[in-house]
Amino acid sequence: MRAIIINTPQHVVLKKVPQPEKKPGEVLIRVRGMGICGSDIAAYKGVNPLVSYPRVIGHEIAGEVVDIPPDEPSLKPGDRVVIEPYVYCGACYPCSNRRTNCCENLKVRGVHIDGAMSEWCSHPRHLVHKVPAGASWDRLAMVEPLTIAVHAVKRACLVQGEHLAVAGAGPIGLLAAQYALVVGAIPIVIDPIDERLAAARSLGIPFGINPVTENPVDRIRDITGGRMAEAVIEASGSDVARRRNLM
Ligand SMILES: [Zn+2]
Ligand SMILES: [Zn+2]
């Protein structure tokens, strides 16, 4: 099969590699939709110290089931699935506290182990989730980043009418702002690129601030009647955004 491999930082190739072997308890998947994450770009640039090379990148994966473990009642070949790319051990202290994202032996696809920017992948059954048959591959590739955004908003424990400031109107920031709307909160996105603010508006996000032309702290004070935002999500990766006090 073909796979996208980063051999060494800044050297990416499309290469023929052996098809993955389905280990016991795994689902063999034909990959049909794939997102490019900021962490894939960090792997390419060589700025993620957790990535070892050569590495097949890609963890935002949607695909079609090809083969399932024996006696698997709830999946069948042809089903559409998305995967949790964070392979945890289930035995360490964080895993015992259901903080599997902090697993001491965590293996993230595309980082510690090969990702799935390839034609096929094989993945543990309990980390494979069936999704509706009619969902498009492009949308399904957004499920993994959506879970990141939903988790962040849930941890903020916002209630109806509270304000959420989101620094960065990239995919994660926009998904977080949209989920804030779902829980009845009022999102305010901050981004220096006007096209991204326009995209936010088109998604129904009521407030956008360009920090190059406006003072975000003053604007948020205005929008919130002086109360400031109850929560802030930093989704830009920018040091300037991290240092701002928007709460
Ligand atoms: Zn990602
Ligand atoms: Zn663990």
The string of pLDDT tens digits covering residues 60-99 is 999 999 999 998 999 999 999 999 999 999 999 999 999 9
What are the C-alpha distances in Å from 152 to residues 70, 111, 183, 241?
36, 21, 13, 17
Distance 117 CA to ligand 1 centre (A): 13
pTM of the model: 0.89
Could you tell me what percent of the chain has a pLDDT over 90?
94
Between the CA of 177 and the centroid of ligand 2 the distance, in Å, is 31
The mean pLDDT value for 15-42 works out to 95
Reply yes or no on whether the pLDDT at 245 is more than 70: no
Please, which pLDDT band fits residue 239 given cuts at 50, 70 and 90?
confident
Mean pLDDT of 153-160: 95
Question: Which has the closest alpha carbon to 181: 202, 199, 158, 198?
Answer: 158
What's the pLDDT score for residue 176? 98
CA distance 104 to 75: 30
CA–CA distances in Å: residue 66 to residues 8, 17, 72: 32, 19, 13
Give residues with Cβ within 8 angstroms of 62, minimum separation 6: 31, 32, 33, 34, 80, 81, 82, 131, 137, 140, 141, 143
For 98-120, the pLDDT digits (tens) are: 999 999 999 999 999 999 999 99
Distance 236 CA to ligand 1 centre (A): 14
Query: Which residues are in the CB-under-5-Å shell of ion ligand 1?
Result: 37
For the chain, how far is it from start to end, CA to CA, in angstroms?
Answer: 50
CA atoms lying within 13 Å on the CB side of residue 129: 14
What are the distances in angstroms from CA 123 to CA 87, 105, 131? 9, 17, 16
Round to whole Å and give the CA distance between 159 and 144: 24
Name the region of 211 (left: φ>0; alpha: ψ -120 to 50; beta: rest). alpha
CA quadruple 193, 198, 199, 200: dihedral sign: positive
Parallel, antiparallel, or unpaired for β 107-108 and 120-124?
unpaired
Neighbours of ion ligand 2 (CB under 5 A): 88-89, 92, 95, 103
Domains of the chain: 2-141 (3.90.180.10), 147-243 (3.40.50.720)
> 127 C-alpha to center of ligand 2: Å?
14
On whether the CB atoms of residues 90 and 82 are closer than 8 A, the answer is no
Model confidence band, residue 247 (pLDDT cutoffs 50, 70, 90) = low
Contacts of 63-66 with CB under 8 Å at 24 or more apart are 63/29, 63/30, 63/31, 63/32, 63/33, 63/116, 63/121, 64/29, 64/30, 64/32, 65/27, 65/28, 65/29, 65/128, 66/28, 66/29, 66/30, 66/120
Cα 96 to middle of ligand 2, angstroms: 7
